[in-house]
């Protein structure tokens, strides 16, 4: 899963507080990580190609799929497969299974590109030319297609990991920032992992917990999802949510919160995020000091 630098998280929070769209920050982080991978990948290709005397695609398979220097997850990417996809299909992410699937998929892709090369031999030609320092190599059609496929797979993996993790990275610091700006005393804030019922054999993690003046806890949920996401409609029942903060909410979501007397804050295109948060604090009887 993609990791975010603190600067990206801070920028995302600042945009949310201003009612701005935060997605540009995520896209920029995705592109930065992908470009870093692409450059490193190209350097490895040059080294591998120069060290090999093989004409077939076996050099790629030996160096990138069955190389102990790479992790199983890397080998899967080089073979055009995502480790998460392999886990979903086979129910395991063991190194043995991942490498077996990676090898099988690479063999399938090799056959596919060879057939494509024969079918289009007089119609199209693709080659990737790489220069590294004073070294120069050129990849043929089959090699180029495999490299392009690996890059596409990596970009998809980075993108998927980014969008699934950005919310988790931002949830707690976002509420903490709102509380600090509102002057909520620290003893009324709790960002630790919290479960609704410790007697249950499973955990229901809540994003944040506040306390009212009587020291009753208030469960806060944060969702950076798009309009119409059904998860927001269910969470108030599944987790006893008392305050809901979201990037975007549908009218149906809002109606549901209103009917359950649950304060909510929609952040996108909202220039009064902090003011709305303070109103929610007053309604929930959570102490705060900054009224301006």
Exposure string (b/e) for 264-274, b if CB count within 10 Å is 16 or more?
A: bbbbbebeebb
Q: What is the pLDDT of residue 201?
A: 43
Domain end residue (candidates: 115, 135, 163): 163
Mark whether 113 and 16 lie in a shared domain: yes
Mark whether 124 and 38 lie in a shared domain: yes
> Are 145 and 120 spatial neighbours (Cβ–Cβ below 8 Å)?
no
Note the pLDDT tens digit of each residue in 26-67: 999 999 999 999 999 999 999 998 887 776 788 999 999 999
Domain end residue (candidates: 110, 129, 163): 163
Mark whether 153 and 16 lie in a shared domain: yes
Q: Residue 96: inside a domain, yes or no?
A: yes
Tell me the mean pLDDT in the region 153-173: 89
Q: What is the pLDDT of residue 16?
A: 95
Mark whether 124 and 221 lie in a shared domain: no
Q: Residue 35: inside a domain, yes or no?
A: yes
Joined together, the tokens standing for residue 225 give 């999802």
Q: Return the residue matching tokens 């790489």.
A: 130
Note the pLDDT tens digit of each residue in 225-237: 655 555 555 666 5
SS3 at position 154: helix
Q: Of 147, 197, 164, 175, give the one whose Cα is nearest residue 245.
A: 175
- pLDDT, mean over the chain: 86
Mark whether 158 and 263 lie in a shared domain: no
Q: What is the pLDDT of residue 200?
A: 45
Q: Residue 144: inside a domain, yes or no?
A: yes
Tell me the mean pLDDT in the region 268-282: 95
Terminal alpha carbon distance of the chain: 40
Domain end residue (candidates: 135, 163, 191): 163
Q: Return the residue matching tokens 């903490």.
A: 176
**Alpha helix stretches (DSSP H) within the chain:** 6-17, 23-51, 58-60, 72-78, 83-90, 95-119, 141-182, 231-238, 251-259, 273-284
Mark whether 23 and 141 lie in a shared domain: yes
**Alpha helix stretches (DSSP H) within 52-140:** 58-60, 72-78, 83-90, 95-119
Please state the domain count of the chain.
2
Instruction: Classify residue 266 as left (phi > 0), alpha (psi -120 to 50) or beta.
Output: beta
Domain that holds residue 272: 183-284
Q: What is the pLDDT of residue 280?
A: 97
Mark whether 10 and 98 lie in a shared domain: yes
Mark whether 269 and 216 lie in a shared domain: yes
Mark whether 259 and 144 lie in a shared domain: no
Neighbour-count burial of 224, counting CB atoms closer than 10 A to its CB (0-12 exposed, 13-18 middle, 19+ buried) = buried
Range of lowest pLDDT (55-59, 118-122, 151-155, 162-166): 118-122
Q: What is the pLDDT of residue 231?
A: 55
Q: What is the pLDDT of residue 207?
A: 81
**1 pLDDT above the threshold of 60:** no
- Give the pairing of strands 189-190 and 208-211: antiparallel
Q: What is the pLDDT of residue 234?
A: 60
Mark whether 78 and 213 lie in a shared domain: no
Mark whether 144 and 218 lie in a shared domain: no
Q: Residue 226: inside a domain, yes or no?
A: yes
DSSP 8-state assignment for residue 195: B
């Amino acid at each position: 899963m993609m990791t975010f630098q603190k600067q990206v998280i801070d920028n995302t929070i600042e945009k949310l507080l201003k009612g701005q769209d935060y997605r540009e920050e995520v896209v920029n982080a995705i592109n930065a990580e992908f470009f870093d991978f692409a450059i490193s990948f190209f350097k490895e290709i040059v080294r591998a190609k120069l060290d090999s005397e093989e004409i077939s695609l076996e050099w790629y398979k030996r160096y990138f799929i069955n190389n102990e220097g790479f992790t199983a997850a890397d080998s899967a990417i080089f073979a055009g497969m995502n480790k998460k996809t392999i886990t979903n299909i086979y129910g395991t992410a063991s190194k043995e299974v991942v490498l077996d699937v990676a090898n099988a998929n690479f063999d399938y892709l090799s056959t596919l590109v060879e057939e494509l090369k024969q079918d289009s031999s007089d119609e199209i030609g693709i080659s990737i030319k790489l220069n590294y320092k004073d070294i120069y190599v050129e990849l043929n059609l089959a090699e180029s297609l495999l490299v392009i496929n690996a890059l596409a797979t990596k970009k998809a993996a980075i993108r998927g990991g980014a969008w699934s993790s950005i919310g988790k990275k931002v949830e707690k610091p976002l509420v903490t920032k709102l509380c600090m700006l509102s002057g909520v005393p620290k003893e009324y804030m709790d960002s630790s992992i919290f479960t609704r019922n410790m007697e249950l054999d499973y955990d229901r993690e809540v994003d944040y917990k506040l306390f009212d003046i009587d020291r009753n806890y208030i469960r806060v949920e944060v969702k950076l999802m798009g309009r119409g996401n059904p998860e927001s409609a269910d969470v108030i029942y599944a987790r006893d949510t008392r305050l809901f903060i979201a990037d975007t909410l549908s009218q149906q979501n809002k109606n549901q919160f209103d009917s359950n007397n649950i304060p909510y804050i929609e952040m996108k295109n909202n220039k009064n995020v902090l003011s709305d948060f303070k109103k929610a604090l007053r309604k929930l009887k959570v102490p705060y000091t900054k009224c301006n």
